[in-house]
Amino acid sequence: MVFAALQAKNPVLFAGARSSRELQIIELLGYKGALEVSTQDGSSGYRGLVTGLLERERGALEGYAFINCGPELFLAKACSIQKQAGSPSIRCLMERYMKCGVGLCGSCSLEGTASVWMVPALKRYGWKVFPTLDDS
């Protein structure tokens, strides 16, 4: 997400972690823009989940475009808050634990479809998805 924020015009990065120690990567990657932080232990920023921070800031989010990355429960909650805020664009990148990395073992399965194979399947059904390396 930091890389996407580095490319955006006037980005605001909402980042959540268990503790401030896990947020050090943001600085290491060179992000200098606006930053809203939540930590579950309260060691930095808002105490709680990043969805709680989004909920608190919902009134100020109207018109923002969002790119979300995380597990399914986070994505569902974040997208709900962002829709309520009137976002014109919401994109989600699902984070999943994987074993084989190519969709053969089934650990990344989402309703019977391997998530690593999802991009071609979604494109086939007309969904707009992020470009992949094979989109040349």
Q: Which two tokens stand for residue 66?
A: 């969002």
Q: Three-state DSSP class for 79?
A: helix
**How does strand 65-70 pair with strand 113-114?**
unpaired
First to last CA, the chain: 23
**How high is the pLDDT of residue 67?**
85
Going from the C-alpha of 67 to that of each of 47, 101, 135, the distances in angstroms are 22, 23, 20
pLDDT at residue 124, rounded to an integer: 62
d(CA 84, CA 101): 35
Q: How far is CA 5 from CA 9, 29, 104, in A?
A: 8, 11, 32
What confidence score (pLDDT) does residue 9 get?
74
Q: Looking at residue 41, what is its pLDDT?
A: 97
CA distance 22 to 98: 21
> What is the structure's pLDDT at 89?
86
For residue 119, the Cα-to-chain-centroid distance in whole angstroms is: 16
pTM, two decimals, is: 0.68
Residue 37 near residue 45 (C-beta atoms within 8 A): yes
Q: Domain ranges in the chain?
A: 2-95, 97-136
Residue 96 carries which side chain, given as an amino acid letter? R
pLDDT per residue as tens, the chain (136 positions): 666 766 767 778 899 999 999 998 888 878 888 889 999 999 999 999 999 999 999 998 888 888 888 888 888 899 999 999 998 888 887 777 767 665 657 676 666 665 555 555 556 666 655 544 444 4
The per-residue pLDDT for 134 is 47
pLDDT on residue 28: 81
